[in-house]
Structure 1
Amino acid sequence: MFRGLSAFPLTPTGEHGIDTAAYTALVARLAAAGVDSIGALGSTGGYAYLTREQRAHTARAAVEAADGVPVVVGIGALRTSHVLELAEDAQKAGASGVLLAPMTYQPLTEDEVFGLYEDVTRELSVPLCVYDNPGTTHVRFTDELHGRIAQLPNIGSIKIPGVPEDPRGAERRVDALRALIPGTVTIGVSGDWTAARGLNAGCDAWYSVLGGTFPRTALALTRAARDGRAGEAAELSAGLEPLWALFRRHGSLRVMSAAASHLGLTDEPNLPRPLRGLDGTARREVVAALDALGLTS
Structure 2
Amino acid sequence: MFTGLSAFPLTPTTETGIDEKAFATLVGRLATAGVDSIGALGSTGSYAYLTREERARTARIAVEHAERTPVIVGIGALRTRHVLEVAEDAQRAGVSGVLLAPVSYQPLTEDEVFGLFEDVTANLSVPLVVYDNPRTTHFTFTDELYARVAELPRVASIKIPGVPADPAAARARVQRLRQILPGDVTVGVSGDAFGATGLNAGCDAWYSVLGGTFPGPALAITRAARSGDAEGARAESRRLQPLWDLFTQHGSPRVIAEAAAHIGLTPPRGLPLPLRGLDADGRAQVAEVLEQLRLNA
TM-score, length-normalised on structure 1? 0.99
Within the alignment, does 1:145 sit opposite 2:145 as a pair? yes
Question: What corresponds to 2:249 in structure 1?
Answer: 249
Provide structure 2 residue ranges, at least 5 long, that are not aligned to the other structure. Answer: none
| 1:229 equivalent in structure 2 | 229
Paired residue for 2:26?
26
Q: CA deviation at 1:148?
A: 0.3
Counterpart AA for 1:256: I
Q: 1:240 aligns to what?
A: 240
| Other structure's SS at 1:276 match | coil
Paired residue type of 2:256: M
Match of residue 208 from structure 1: 208
Measure how far apart 1:277 and its partner are.
Answer: 1.0
DSSP-derived class of the 2:129 partner: strand
What is the identity, as a one-letter code, of the residue corresponding to 1:103? V
1:119 offset after TM fit, Å? 0.3
> Counterpart of 2:264?
264
- Name the residue aligned to 2:70: 70
Partner deviation per Cα, 1:261-282 (whole Å, 9 max, x = no partner): 0010011220000001100111
Is 2:43 aligned against 1:43?
A: yes
Q: Which amino acid aligns with 1:54?
A: E
Structure 2 SS opposite 1:178: helix
Q: 1:166 aligned to 2:189?
A: no
Unaligned runs of 5+ in 1: none
Deviation at 1:177, TM superposition (A): 1.3
Please give the secondary structure, in 1, of the residue aligned with 2:180: coil
Query: Partner of 2:273 in structure 1?
Result: 273
**Which amino acid letter does the alignment assign opposite residue 139 of structure 2?**
V
Looking at structure 2, the residues matched to 268 and 236 of structure 1 have their Cα atoms a distance apart, in angstroms, of 28
Q: Which residue of 1 aligns with 2:285?
A: 285
After TM superposition, give the deviation of residue 29 of structure 1 in Å. Answer: 0.3
Show structure 1 runs of 4+ deviating over 6 A.
Answer: none
Distance, in Å, in 1 between the alignment partners of 2:274 and 2:292 is 31
Helix, strand or coil: the match of 1:130?
Answer: strand
Deviation at 1:256, TM superposition (A): 0.4
Deviation at 1:191, TM superposition (A): 0.4
Task: Report deviation, 1:173.
Answer: 1.0
Distance of 2:2 and 2:198 partners within structure 1: 15
1:81 aligns with 2:81: yes
Per-residue CA distance 1:143-191 (angstroms, 9 max, x = gap): 1100000000000000000111110110111111111110100000000
- Deviation at residue 73 of structure 1 after TM alignment: 0.3
CA separation in 1, counterparts of 2:74 and 2:290? 28
Q: Deviations over 1:94-149 (max 9, x none)?
A: 00000000001111110000000000000111000000000000011001100000
Deviation by residue 1:26-54 (Cα, 9 ceiling, x = unmatched) = 00000000000000000000000000000
Counterpart residue number, 1:97 = 97
Q: Is structure 2 residue 12 aligned with structure 1 residue 12?
A: yes
Give distance in 1, aligned partners of 2:191 and 2:266.
Answer: 24
Q: 1: CA distance between counterparts of 2:232 and 2:268?
A: 36
SS of match in other structure, 1:165: coil
- Which residue of 2 is the match for residue 186 of structure 1? 186
Deviations 1:191-221 (A, max 9, x none): 0001100000000000000000000110011
Show the counterpart of 2:177. Answer: 177
Query: Aligned equivalents of 2:55 and 2:258: distance in 1?
Result: 23
TM-score normalised by length of structure 2? 0.99
Query: Aligned to 1:179, what secondary structure does the other structure show?
Result: helix
> Secondary structure of the residue that 1:124 maps to in structure 2?
coil
- Could you tell me which amino acid in structure 2 is paired with residue 116 of structure 1? L
**Structure 1 counterpart of 2:127:** 127
Rounded to whole Å, the distance in 1 between the matches of 2:196 and 2:246 is 18
The CA distance in 1 between the partners of 2:113 and 2:224, in whole Å, is: 35
